[in-house]
Amino acid sequence: MSTVKIQGIIPPVVTPMDPEDESVNIPELRRQIERQIEGGVHGIFPFGTNGEGYILSMKEKEEVLEATIDEVRGRVPVYAGTGCISTRDTVYMSKRAEEMGADVLSIITPSFALASQKELYDHYVEVAKHVHIPIVLYNIPARTGNKLLPETVGRLARDVDVILGAKDSSGDLNNLLAYIEVTRDIGKDFAVLAGNDGNILPCLKAGGAGGVAGRANLWPHTIASIYDNFVAGNLEEAEKAQTAVATLQRVFKYGNPNTIIKKAVNLLGYPVGDCRRPFNYLCDEGVEELKKVLAEAKEAGLC
């Protein structure tokens, strides 16, 4: 099995799209990956939530993953988002990602239909039988309708060798902390990642490994510095960076967070296009507030 260390700041890189036909813009994707790596991030995560994995076809996911692996060239680990609604499709995408050279699999819970904890457990166990690279469980119940409970995460961590991490995007800090607690003494190096940018430093302080940070699409260096300063013992600087990136929260009341992230990347001067329709609207008031936040961030030195 791969010995990749799951840690640090891993941006769910946006998937640039042509504004005319919404096709994937591979040259701009490569540019965004370079921005992230130059900013000092510790991994690249194609077609996560901010990468619109929920709306890309399997062919498009393969195209994005192929370009990502080629562009990264082993400089940081590549995390492939391979979770689908069915176990069958998740197995297919996970095997394909491993064949293509991904380092880690991020597997979101199935969505739409309500799943029991037994069904979720069985789903991950079955997928794990077919791959030989680390799996990171991905909990985001507000989007999927299914919550992966801490006790289920603990069971999977203990029972399945290749399950080596969990990302919690519930927004519930207590749930994130529970993930850390139930996996603290399981006899293997298990990584818990914050899926909400505001919880990166609390996660690290509690013994977590870092975060999958959408705002790294805007300020990769600043977000990466939360982790880097923490591990270097510069807690004051880590706190300063964590506080600085919180300003974007003001805009989230106006629309879908990943729609806002992608519009912000555009406003920074990168032609990544809008999110694929219908998830692409931000009202005029929201756009103006976003511009204010970006201006304040630039003045404060975020980059």
For residue 109, the one-letter residue type is T
Write the secondary structure of the chain as one string of H (helix), E (strand) and C (coil).
CCCCCCCEEECECCCCECCCCCCECHHHHHHHHHHHHHCCCCCEECCCCCCCHHHCCHHHHHHHHHHHHHHHCCCCCEEEECCCCCHHHHHHHHHHHHHHCCCEEEEECCCCCCCCHHHHHHHHHHHHCCCCCCEEEEECHHHHCCCCCHHHHHHHHHHCCCEEEEEECCCCHHHHHHHHHHCCCCCCCCEEEECCHHHHHHHHHCCCCEEECHHHHCCHHHHHHHHHHHHCCCHHHHHHHHHHHHHHHHHHHHCCHHHHHHHHHHHCCCCCCCCCCCCCCCCHHHHHHHHHHHHHHHHHCCC
Residue 131: partners with Cβ closer than 8 Å, 6 or more residues away: 94, 95, 98, 105, 162
Would you call 292 a catalytic residue per the annotation? no
Q: Which of 54, 79, 121, 138 is catalytic?
A: 138
CA dihedral (230, 43, 127, 64) in degrees, to 10, reads 150
Q: Which of 61, 167, 262, 263 is catalytic?
A: 167
Q: Identify whether the C-beta of residue 194 lies closer than 8 Å to the C-beta of residue 138.
A: no
Would you call 138 a catalytic residue per the annotation? yes
Residues with catalytic annotation?
A: 138, 167
